[in-house]
Chains A and B, each alone.
Chain A
Amino acid sequence: MIRLGTRRSGRVAFISDSPFRRVDPRTKLLLSLGASLAIMYPLQKLMIFMLIYAIFLAWGHLLIEAGRQVWRLKWVLLVLFCIDWWVVGPDLAVSVVLRLIFLAGAFAFFFSTTTTTELRLALEWLRVPYRYAFSISLAFQSVGYLEEQWQMILEAQQSRGAWSPDGSRTNILRRVREMVALTVPAIVLTTKRAWAVTEAAYARGFDSPHYRPYQALKMSRLDLILLALMGFIGAGLVLWKGFIF
């Protein structure tokens, strides 16, 4: 899965009950990319499109997940909103933030229902060499591992008094040292993980000329319907007067 949860956080690792699980990853990627083009809409039309897209996500049991992905960007969005408002005005602030929200939500559809293996196969279909496609999918997959390691580093340093969750009570110098206490183990563990995975992959024959994928991508009727729908909506968008301006 691309967005892996951790055991500790107890988050859902994968949206397995979504009808989009059955959709070919190539279709999903095209749909996400296609939908993201809607950010070029004027604000009012964008909001109408967002509403339609939200219904689409709700049908796929993905609305909550899309909301989560947007929520993770809350601080970035808040800062952008404030800067835009301060530099230009409220219209631009709302316009930029809404577009970013839509962009994040648009890709929730792809990232929540696609396994890293499917991503790798889709990349291979796009003629990306296997070793690079594997590395990219592994990088996505390692996010969950690294997130868990980070949590464990926090706990380990807290346990020995090298980090305190309540940073406001400590002085700046101590806070900097605490950041070093977190960062060094994170770098060490990430490097070790990268090396360990490399060893493990090569020890299991990675890069063999005999490689043959177990799973194969296959378009179904649902894919064709979705692609046709996308084409229809895309054509509608282009013909809609004032699409861009």
Chain B
Amino acid sequence: MIQADRVSFHYLHADHGLPETSLRVQAGEKWLVSGASGCGKSTLARCLSGLIPHLYRGLLSGEVILNGFLTTETPMWKLAEQAGMLFQNPSAQLLAATVEEEIVFGLEQLGCERAEISKRVAAAMHSFHLEEFRNRAPQTLSDGEKQKLALAAVMARDPKVLILDEPLSMLDITAEQELIQELERASGEGTAAIIFEHRETQLRLLENLNRIELNGNSPPQHTLAPCPSWTPIPPFELRLRNLGVTLGGKRVLDQLDVDFHGGEIVAIVGRNGAGKTTLLRSLAGLQKHDGALNLQGDGEPLQLGLVFQNPDLQLFNASVREEILFHIEQPDPDYYQWLLDVLGLTRYDQAQPLLLSEGEKKRLGLGTVLMRRPRHGILLDEPSLGQDEAHKKTLMDLMQHVAHLGRLVVVTTHDLELARQADRVILLGAEGIAGDGPAAEIFARQDLWKSIGLKRTQEGPLAGLPPTEGK
């Protein structure tokens, strides 16, 4: 079905690409391609789908045969009939005016009859629970919903090979399980699936999953040096009372009552579209809201630094140094150096931020916020996205450092491995907070997870994870 023989690719004007790799995938097989950040997973995905060499310029060697078609000699539209590809960033790849039209687009290119298109659109919407969004603009969906839509658009074309680049990155565990069911169904019908993913947790549920690991440069594991101190602040409490947010006429958050304390790491977990990011934006003072947000115990105004999901929103300076030190008066050189070391960016001190890998950019985005030493703590929106295990561990260590300084750390995540390491977990559902307590306690309460629509599998919501250790 797919035969890649000694394929390698080097992008023009870039020092990264794909080292020589071979892969042979038969009909109905499922493959997991893993590897550290920047090891070339996305490049391999592009080589297999034919986007390399059709859309990218660079040095390609070896060959890829996709269902009998040599990718270098076959037009892209014909390759697209064989393989469906899902990209990392669902937000940027949606190109139609409505959810329905997004799915229709690919079917129009196949030349399907109108009745056939209607049938396939209905089936795809049903499989991914998108019926209620049929006439919505894709850009108004949450990131997780966009991911589901992008998947639905790919699967509706009924390709013989599915090439999925980080398909789980934005999905909650219920949506992950639904995707896995879809993959099993497609596999049963002879469709091969190649999944490029950092998060293996739920993928372990796939039957007969084959694996290939690409070699990459993982950061060395080391214990963090003590952090140069931040200004001590008194213990504080942040009280949210009757917090509510309305977006586009829809009540996203309603009458939320919750307390946060300095020195704790709080993970907010919930279904796609539950309002997790909106809650973070409210805490950061970027979102208009009803209700009260009161800081107790510290007389200074509330100051929380928000680290956004997409680092490209923030980076604009000529070097990493300038980026981190931007608008910092009298920067502390020791602290700056400590940050670079912790974030694994030491060798990029003078590098152009926009040329870093996505994972590195994300860590740089965190660095720009931490350098400002926000008085009351940091808020992180899906920080583990695109990070390999080693970098996730570094991230967790860093969050613990900040919490030990008496600051608050609030993180929204679908990554349950990350969430279970927090001090406290808040389960956010459509009806508000469904569960709030120590991580071990919340993870033990299957009923709470079920109440917000996070499906229970045979092994529970943490299927595939090692047993929970008490914190």
Contacts and interface: CB of A to CB of B under 8 A. Distances in A.
Interface string A34-68: 00000000000000000000000000000000000
Interface in B209-252: 246-249
B305 A205 contact: no
A95 interface: no
A197 B95 CA distance: 6
A181 B316 contact: yes
B12 interface: no
Nearest to B372: A161
Contact of B327 (A7, A9, A161, A214): A161
Contacts of B308: 152, 155-156, 159
Contacts of B465: none
B444 interface: no
A125 interface: no
B14 interface: no
Given A204-B105, A211-B109, A214-B117, A13 B137 contact: yes
A203 interface: yes
A244 to B, nearest CB: 39
Interface string B61-91: 0000000000000001100110011010100
A208 B107 contact: no
A9 B246 CA distance: 10
A111 B114 CA distance: 27
B106 interface: yes
Given A8-B247, A188-B354, A205 B55 contact: no
Contacts of B76: 202, 205, 207
A184 B248 contact: no
Contact of B108 (A14, A115, A162, A211): A211
Q: Which of B80, B114, B153 has the most CB of A within 10 A?
A: B80
B55 A202 contact: yes
A160 B368 contact: yes
B341 interface: no
A217 to B, nearest CB: 14
Nearest to B304: A159
Interface string A119-156: 00000000000000000011001001100110011011
B109 A210 contact: yes
Contacts of A242: none
Interface in B253-298: 281, 284, 286
B139 A156 contact: no
Contacts of B305: 159-160
Interface string A176-189: 00001101110011
Given A160-B369, A185-B313, A185-B315, A155 B281 contact: yes
A148 B91 CA distance: 11
A117 B101 contact: yes
Contacts of B105: 201, 204
Interface in B102-144: 104-114, 117, 135, 137, 139-140
A200 B87 contact: yes
B77 A7 contact: no
Contact of A196 (B92, B98, B139, B306): B92
Contacts of A201: 95, 105
A138 B138 CA distance: 13
A234 interface: no
A208 B109 contact: yes
Given A204-B157, A214-B104, A4 B137 contact: yes
A120 B305 CA distance: 43
A204 B109 contact: yes
A181 B430 CA distance: 36
Nearest to A161: B327
B326 interface: yes
B207 interface: no
A213 B108 contact: yes
A116 interface: yes
Q: Which of A9, A157, A185, A200 has the most CB of B within 10 A?
A: A200
A107 interface: no
Contacts, number: 179
Nearest to A152: B313
A197 to B, nearest CB: 5
A207 B49 CA distance: 16
A209 B110 CA distance: 9
B457 interface: no
Nearest to A9: B248
Given A162-B326, A180-B316, A205 B106 contact: yes
A157 B308 CA distance: 10
Contacts of B392: none
B456 interface: no
A138 B94 CA distance: 10
Given A10-B248, A145-B139, A161-B372, A214 B114 contact: yes
A193 interface: yes
A212 B111 contact: yes
B446 interface: no
Contacts of B369: 159-160
Contact of A10 (B247, B284, B312, B316): B247
Contact of B106 (A4, A8, A204, A209): A204
Q: Which of A138, A188, A212 has the most CB of B within 10 A?
A: A212
Contact of B97 (A4, A184, A209, A210): A4
Interface string B352-366: 001000000000000
A46 B154 CA distance: 52
Q: Which of A144, A181, A202 has the most CB of B within 10 A?
A: A202
Contacts of B316: 162, 180-181, 183-185
B314 interface: yes
Contacts of B55: 198-199, 202
B468 interface: no
B361 to A, nearest CB: 10
Given A6-B140, A210-B110, A160 B87 contact: no
B248 A192 contact: no
A1 interface: yes
6 contacts: A4-B139, A10-B249, A162-B327, A181-B326, A205-B110, A212-B111
The 5 closest A-B pairs by CB, nearest first: A210-B111, A205-B109, A184-B316, A196-B92, A200-B93
Given A10-B246, A201-B95, 8 more contacts: A8-B247, A145-B139, A188-B315, A199-B93, A205-B80, A213-B108, A214-B108, A214-B117
